[in-house]
């Protein structure tokens, strides 16, 4: 007789009759562990017990001694499968043979977090340096404050324009601005072909036409 098949049949009939392992053990004068091992298919009951077991489970000795045929008569494979699962769960507490395994805590990927933090830090530094660079190298803004005619010792009658500059002035930025001035002025309107641009960093100095070396000349005639 196959132990596993007998265990499945024993569990099926016991549950069908609403009998617990403890009750069955008491009626047969055996331990709960012994009943559990029978149902687990690890042991078989003593050959003198089938009659008593059959009486308790309301079955015949032939049915117990031929578990495979008896299970086929039950004609419920899914029921058998559930019984096996329920039997294993119930027997765990009684036998202590099925160890409970605690799920391992999910390990945090500290390496990945560290790499991401490092990358974010690098990007923040690069972005900060870029903003500083752009702030120091942004295109200066030229605000016209006043105009006047002067007698230049070198060029004679000159039309002078005072500007306040917001931003860093370089030779390139001054040359670009001089080209813009040349494009916007008309020689006939200002009655001279020479324009002098003077640059200041504040409005007070520009209004007072304070002496400064920062500036340039524009020749409208191209001379």
DSSP state of 99: -
Order across the sheet with 156-166: list the strands: 141-152, 156-166, 194-200, 215-219
Q: Residue 159 corresponds to which tokens in the numbers above?
A: 């039309």
Q: Nearest-5° angle of CA 89, CA 95, CA 99?
A: 65
Nearest residue to 35 via CA among 55, 54, 14, 16: 14
209: left (phi over 0), alpha (psi -120 to 50) or beta: left
Confidence label for 75 from pLDDT (cuts 50, 70 and 90): low
Q: Determine whether domain 3-95 maps to CATH 1.10.287.130.
A: no
Residue 21 has pLDDT above 60, yes or no: yes
Which of the four pLDDT bands, split at 50, 70 and 90, describes residue 102? very low
Handedness of CA 71, 76, 77, 79 (dihedral sign): negative
Please tell me which residue, 60 or 110, carries the higher pLDDT value: 60
What pLDDT, on the 0 to 100 scale, is given for residue 20?
Answer: 92
pLDDT at position 1? 54
Q: Where in the chain is the domain with CATH 1.10.260.40?
A: 3-95
| pLDDT greater than 70 at residue 208 | yes
* Structure confidence at residue 86 as a pLDDT band (50, 70, 90): low
- Calpha distance 16→198 (Å, rounded): 107
Q: How far apart are CA 149 and CA 60, in angstroms?
A: 131
Where does the chain have alpha helices with state H?
3-16, 21-28, 32-39, 50-56, 61-65, 67-74, 77-95, 110-137, 171-184, 187-190, 203-207
How many whole angstroms from its chain centre is CA 222?
64
Q: Given a cut of 60, is residue 76 above it in pLDDT? A: no
**d(Cα 111, Cα 89) in Å, to the nearest integer?**
40
Which residues 6+ apart lie within 8 Å of 69 measured at CB? Answer: 63
């Amino acid at each position: 007789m196959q132990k596993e098949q007998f265990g499945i049949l024993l569990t099926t009939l016991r549950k069908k009759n609403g009998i617990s392992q403890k009750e069955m053990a008491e009626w047969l004068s055996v331990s709960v562990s012994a009943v559990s091992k029978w149902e687990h298919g690890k042991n078989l009951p003593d050959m003198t017990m089938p009659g008593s077991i059959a009486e308790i489970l309301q079955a015949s000795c032939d049915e117990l001694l031929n578990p495979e045929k008896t299970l086929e008569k039950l004609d419920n494979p899914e029921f058998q499968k559930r019984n096996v699962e329920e039997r294993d769960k119930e027997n765990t507490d009684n036998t202590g043979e099925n160890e409970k395994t605690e799920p391992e805590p999910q390990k945090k990927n500290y390496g990945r977090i560290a790499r991401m933090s490092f990358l974010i830090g690098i990007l923040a530094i690069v972005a900060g340096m870029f903003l500083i660079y752009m702030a120091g190298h942004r295109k200066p803004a030229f605000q016209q404050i006043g105009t006047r005619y002067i007698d230049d010792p070198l060029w004679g009658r000159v039309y002078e324009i005072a500007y306040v500059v917001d931003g860093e002035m370089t030779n390139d930025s001054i040359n670009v601005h001089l080209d813009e001035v040349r494009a916007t002025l008309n020689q006939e309107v200002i009655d001279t072909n020479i324009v002098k641009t003077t640059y200041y960093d504040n409005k007070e100095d520009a209004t007072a036409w304070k002496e400064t070396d920062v500036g340039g000349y524009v020749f409208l005639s191209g001379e």
